[in-house]
């Protein structure tokens, strides 16, 4: 049977199932700053059995990309189905309600069309950016309990100086914590280490408990639900319960060292200097420190995976798997020393590519993986189509339903990611074989199949000018999008 005919039959069968059962539920899980260091993305060095659990039920998109490798702009993009230049959200301080008033978010569309909607954790970028009752029937956010090491330090500090909350003590207390230990550092100088807390004392443990409480208690009543779980981590500081660190002995960590002269052949605006906050120098490998951060980051991934597993257990005991679409993504990738970069805000593959797994009952077949190119901006139209929700006419994403129905269907010809450099943008195009970037001071071109680490910039290679011209020609398609 031709591929098109098979797709039509699958889509029709899903439509009939939806009519018989009513609209499907949606569980939308978004992690923060998670790169593809998960076993479902082929990273064997880390234990993520619950990512694998979902992948065994649904489809893994091996080539999915964010549209902006920073939390606020990325979330504004995929929650509204629009590229960042159209949302107008190009920094963590912008709010789409100011830059593009009246734009209907994904949860708002579901709520307005009969779904019970709820969110716990970080879905919109922060409390100020959250759309509140316009988007959600219920919304919760949590924080970590006080770390034992911080609690002991606070008691000693207050005995000498008085309350840490007093006006005279706030800055002194903050400075004291920054100097106390790696665990008590915050985001400016990224903290890391064993938290001394239990799973349930950390914010993401609380998020998991809240989600399971809603599912177990059937808080949604007779309505279908759209439930978003915003996992706060592995965003810095990298503080996980102690047991997860034992999974990753520092001496056993494996990574590829970048060429010492890499930045002699790449545009300087392609880099960010966040590495210095982590304690590194450009062009110099600090093996011991890199292992400390990687261990902490990996420990947090396993912690996050365990919390996601608790939510999946609730789906299981409430017999909801066959009625619930499950989406598991990250808002963008994260660098752990690749190209001597740390954090986000670049256009390298490790920063733009994200894990993405979708389980669509009656459509996805167990354990399938697709190499089709996809973007986070595609999730809004995909979920709207799967659930029979009327979406805004101006969505720029493309529904992935045909890809979910058949792994042989080609994905997009290219994906698009941007990032701000002062008052200009760096712009990247990914195809099946190539990654191209245009920066204010130059260009990048990498052959991903032969150079997956992106160590050799071919933009100035005379033998690749035809490919360079072809990649350049793709940019206007995205730049001119309405």
Q: What is the dihedral of CA 242, 246, 247, 251, to 10 degrees?
A: 130
Query: What are the angstrom distances between the C-alpha of 57 and each of 24, 29, 320, 366, 392?
Result: 16, 16, 13, 4, 30
Q: Let me know if residue 46 belongs to a domain.
A: yes
Q: How many domains does the chain have?
A: 1
Cα(282)–Cα(275) distance, integer angstroms: 7
Q: Which domain holds residue 332?
A: 3-144+201-244+253-410
pLDDT digits (tens, 9 = 90+) for 327-374: 999 999 999 999 999 999 999 999 999 999 999 999 999 999 999 999
Q: What are phi and psi of 467, to 5 degrees?
A: -65, -40
Q: Let me know if residue 399 belongs to a domain.
A: yes
Q: Let me know if residue 78 belongs to a domain.
A: yes
CA-based nearest residue to 341, from 351, 330, 355, 331: 351
Cα(233)–Cα(190) distance, integer angstroms: 13
Helix, strand or coil, per DSSP, at residue 372: strand
State residue 16's pLDDT score: 37
Q: Let me know if residue 454 belongs to a domain.
A: no
CA-based nearest residue to 114, from 229, 226, 217, 228: 226
Residue 22 vs residue 377, higher pLDDT: 377
Report the share of the chain in percent with pLDDT over 90.
92
Q: Let me know if residue 347 belongs to a domain.
A: yes
State residue 479's pLDDT score: 77
The 3-state DSSP composition of the chain as helix, strand, coil percent (nearest 5) reads 40, 20, 40
State residue 19's pLDDT score: 37
Cα(413)–Cα(415) distance, integer angstroms: 7
21, pLDDT greater than 90 = no
State residue 477's pLDDT score: 84
293, pLDDT greater than 50 = yes
CA-based nearest residue to 374, from 328, 443, 327, 431: 431
**Which H or E run contains 357?**
strand 356-359
Q: Let me know if residue 22 belongs to a domain.
A: yes
Helix, strand or coil, per DSSP, at residue 38: coil
Q: Let me know if residue 166 belongs to a domain.
A: no
Average pLDDT for the chain = 94
Helix, strand or coil, per DSSP, at residue 208: helix
**Which H or E run contains 60?**
strand 59-65
pLDDT digits (tens, 9 = 90+) for 192-244: 999 999 999 999 999 999 999 999 999 999 999 999 999 999 999 999 999 99
pLDDT digits (tens, 9 = 90+) for 422-459: 999 999 999 999 999 999 999 999 999 999 999 999 99
The pTM score is: 0.95
Cα(192)–Cα(100) distance, integer angstroms: 37
Q: Let me know if residue 392 belongs to a domain.
A: yes
Q: Hey, what are 275's tokens? A: 């590495």
- Distance between the two ends of the chain, CA-based, in angstroms? 37
State residue 18's pLDDT score: 45
Supply the CATH number for residue 41's domain: 3.40.720.10
- The average pLDDT across 51-80 equals 98
Query: What are the angstrom distances between the C-alpha of 109 and each of 19, 26, 87, 113, 119?
Result: 20, 13, 17, 6, 14
């Amino acid at each position: 049977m031709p591929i098109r005919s098979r797709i039509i039959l699958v889509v029709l069968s899903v439509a009939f199932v939806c009519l018989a059962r009513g609209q499907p539920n949606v569980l939308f899980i978004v992690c923060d700053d998670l790169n593809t260091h998960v076993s479902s993305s082929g990273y064997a060095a880390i234990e993520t059995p619950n990512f694998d659990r979902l992948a065994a039920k649904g489809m893994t998109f091996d080539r999915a990309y964010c549209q902006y490798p920073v939390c606020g702009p990325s979330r504004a993009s995929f929650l509204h189905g629009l590229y960042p230049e159209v949302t107008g959200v190009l920094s963590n301080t912008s709010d789409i309600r100011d830059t593009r008033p009246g734009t209907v978010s994904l949860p708002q569309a579901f709520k307005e069309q009969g779904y019970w909607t709820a969110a716990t954790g970080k879905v919109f970028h922060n409390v100020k950016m959250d759309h509140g009752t316009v988007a959600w029937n219920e919304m919760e956010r949590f924080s970590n309990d006080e770390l034992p090491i911080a609690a002991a330090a606070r008691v000693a500090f207050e005995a000498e100086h008085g309350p840490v909350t007093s006006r005279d003590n706030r800055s002194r207390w903050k400075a004291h914590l920054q100097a106390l230990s790696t665990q008590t550092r915050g985001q400016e100088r990224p903290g890391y280490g064993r938290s001394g807390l239990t799973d349930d004392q950390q914010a993401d443990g609380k998020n998991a408990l809240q989600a399971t409480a809603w599912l177990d208690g059937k808080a949604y009543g007779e309505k279908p639900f759209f439930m978003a779980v915003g996992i706060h981590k592995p965003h810095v500081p990298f503080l996980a319960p102690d047991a997860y660190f034992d999974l990753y002995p520092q001496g056993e960590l494996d990574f590829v060292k970048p060429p010492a002269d890499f930045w002699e052949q790449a545009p300087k605006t392609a880099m960010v200097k966040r590495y210095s906050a982590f304690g590194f120098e450009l062009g110099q490998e600090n093996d011991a420190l890199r292992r400390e951060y990687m261990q902490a980051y990996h420990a947090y991934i396993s912690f996050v995976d365990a919390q996601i597993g608790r939510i999946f257990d609730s789906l299981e005991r409430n017999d909801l798997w066959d009625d619930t679409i499950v989406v598991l993504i990250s808002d963008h990738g994260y660098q752990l020393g690749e190209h001597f970069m740390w954090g986000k805000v670049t256009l390298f593959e490790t920063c733009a590519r994200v894990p993405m797994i979708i389980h669509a009952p009656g459509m996805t077949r167990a354990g399938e993986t697709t190499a089709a190119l996809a973007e986070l901006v595609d999730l809004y139209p995909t979920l709207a189509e799967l659930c029979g929700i009327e979406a805004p006419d101006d969505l720029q994403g493309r529904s992935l339903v045909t890809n979910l129905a058949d792994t042989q269907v080609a994905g997009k010809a290219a994906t698009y990611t941007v990032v701000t450099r002062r008052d200009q943008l760096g712009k990247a195009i990914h195809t099946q074989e190539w990654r191209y970037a245009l920066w204010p001071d130059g260009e990048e071109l990498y052959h991903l199949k032969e150079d997956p680490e992106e160590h050799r910039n071919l933009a100035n290679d005379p033998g690749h000018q035809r490919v360079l011209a072809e990649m350049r020609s793709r940019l206007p398609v995205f730049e001119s999008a309405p």
